[in-house]
Every structure is written in C-alpha cells, then in structure tokens.
Amino acid sequence: MAAALLEITHGWLVIGLGNPGKQYAGTRHNLGFLVADELLRRYPPLASIGNPSSVVVRIVIGGSPVILAKPMTYMNRSGAAVASLIGRFPEHRILVIHDDLDLAEGRMKLKRSGGDGGHLGLRSIVEELGHGNFARLRLGIGRPADGDVVHYVLEALADDPLKEHLEWARNAAPVVEQVVREGLTAAMNRVNRRVVEAREFTGFTR
C-alpha cells in the first residue's frame, strides 16, 4: 500500500465518506459514497489497492493520477481509515466529499480547510490527523424540520428522493474533475462564485 501511494504523490487523494452496508446505501449520509461511485463509473479503475479499512482504487482524471477511496469503518471512525491512506500526500492534495446539514438540500460548495462543522466523519478525521487542513466538497442535505438529525441522515430514502440524490451525485462528479484538472483555487472560483445548485449543475467540459 505504501509503495503504491508513493508512486502518485503528485496526484490526488479523493475520499468519499459514508457508511458501509446495504442498510445505509440509500441514505443522505452516503452522498460521499455516491459521488465516489459516479467517479468510478466515469473512470474505470487501473488498479485496486489493498487496504484493510477502505475500498481503494487508482484512476486517472485528465492525465493526473487519483487514489479514490471509500472508508469502510463507519462514519464516526473515518479518521483511522483516512490516516492509513494519506502516505506522503501533501495536505493540499486531499479532497474529502461529504454530506452537509448546513447547506440547503441539493446545493454544493468547495472549502479549502476548516473544522468539522458537527459532521462526525470530519470530526474523526480532524481528530486523527490533528488538523483540518484538507479540502472538502460539501453536499447540502439541509436540516430536518423536526430536528431529529440522526434519523434524517440515516433514514432510507423513498424512490423519488433517492433518484434526486443519485442525480446530485452525478452532477457533483464534475466538480471533483475540475479540482483535479485545474486545482482547488480554480475550482473554488467557479463553484463558489455562487453556491451551486447541484440539481441544475450540468458540469464542466472535459
């Protein structure tokens, strides 16, 4: 694993957060997994990389090597999985994709670094790494009207809402492509110029 990571330290480490298991597959908390799956659909893996705590593959986007990972440790233990993946990746080459209660449902935004914002997956990563100096792609899910956050993020979505979330994941994948191809600053300038409405976002030209 270490040797494989050393080969691509000029590339990107992209991590989609979620929970493993069929019972979580169609939940809001698994939007990070959905985006990772969409990237995998667009870019067939060149290799799988053995890791005890994550599903890890190597892909290429725009000529740049990317390690794409989905931690299998459950959300609140994501930090241990991420720490095992970092190798010698510089902080500015790490992108974490996650759901976000503080963005309206269907919106997305890039962030260069920061705290955990109450997100248990981010909290675990920040605690494990000792810093929050990694980029994030925030995927808005809004907050529940009844205030029951746990049920809201983990409830299985009905067919129509699930289809919407799958569409948002497809529309978020081009943002990751932009980050890899042109860098985080260029992507932030385009995506964050306004808070992008994921359901309307048609993506960047490849």
Within the chain, strands assigned E span 12-16, 47-48, 54-61, 64-71, 94-100, 107-111, 135-140, 196-197
Annotated catalytic, 10? no
- Comparing 163 with 181, the larger pLDDT belongs to 181
33-47: average pLDDT: 94
pTM for this model (two decimals): 0.88
* Percentage above 70 pLDDT, the chain: 87
Mean confidence (pLDDT) of the chain: 86
Candidate list 29, 98, 119, 165, residue with the active-site label = 29
Structure tokens at 88: 């010698």
**Three-state DSSP class for 98?**
strand
CATH of 2-197, one of 3.40.50.1470, 3.40.50.300, 3.90.1150.140, 2.120.10.90: 3.40.50.1470
Return the pLDDT at 174.
Answer: 93
At 165, is the secondary structure helix, strand, or coil? helix
The helix (run of H) or strand (run of E) holding residue 185 is helix 184-191
pLDDT digits (tens, 9 = 90+) for 164-197: 777 877 889 999 999 999 999 999 998 887 554 4
* Residue 169 exposure: Cα atoms within 13 Å on the Cβ side: 28
**Contact predicate 126/115, CB 8 Å:** yes
